[in-house]
Structure 1
């Protein structure tokens, strides 16, 4: 039985690599012991490996804010998780980042980091940030800047037009939102909407973004 599971894991590694997946492939320790677990592993880049790497899927993946059971019968993150849910849309690709040099963007893609959700995962701890910085020949301050903008891009219901709007209002990332109170944030975004001749987000949406930023800062 053990030998059979080992052969299945080896086959799983081969399939994932053919699909273009990068990252640590210690699949047995990650809970992937059969080919049947493959789709679950490929669609769950937030799955942590014991080696402090993540299984980085090349596909875009949907947020884990909803509870439920995956196709292989594994339960997704439940409603009791204190972390705010990501947007219900597909996680933004890293190409939406504007505060990153093209050379670093290309190197991130070579590392298998194709979405801002994956970027947030691989920069979650100081150790991971240093590791990623070394891999793409950047500074840890660079990595923190990318993470800051990625956190803003993953606010609930946040889209590319909203990104443009908040940049116009002077909010380049989560830290800029945290630096002001809610009335100041709301006024700046409404003013920027007028300058760009765009419809401003509703007060409820703006309040939600501001409050989520506070929650993320406390996490």
Structure 2
């Protein structure tokens, strides 16, 4: 079955790849927001994941730590992951985003969730108020966060549906979600085949 092959070959969330043990707790949710910010730019996903790991290694895993860090230290962490071209802008954005989270939600994204009137769209709208988190960044966060925020499920955005079409699956979130009880894993796998033609061919051909 193609969905089983998909999950076997590409079934790993980006949070897991970045070393984030996702849970409905402030630090892992914040680290997911950082990862979504890093993945939002036009840069290789592997480099963005490596950058998230470098920031974590520098102990920048809470909004307070990020806000209190030196801009140059953030630039250096991104540089160690070869997160170039966008390193200075992103370092600034991460500091600004941390300040916004501390000011508006006391550093806790669960409060954003609670304030998310309008369900999924309310959550997306609030996420987009963070620096450099546009529609793409909000999609990335929600795709992964659905693992711990059930009201987001099934969150299969355009990028995930592009992956579904590439391997011959229906581009319909409800139909796709019927194949698994782990929508976050499915979404990540579909995005991976959307981004990697060879992987998509491997999945489609069996």
Tell me whether the two structures share a fold, i.e. TM-score over 0.5.
no
Q: Which has the larger radius of gyration?
A: 1
TM-score using structure 1 length: 0.29
Structure 1 or 2: more helix by fraction: 2
Q: Normalising by the residue count of structure 2, what TM-score does the alignment of the two structures yield?
A: 0.31
Higher relative contact order (CA closer than 8 Å, sequence separation 6+): 2
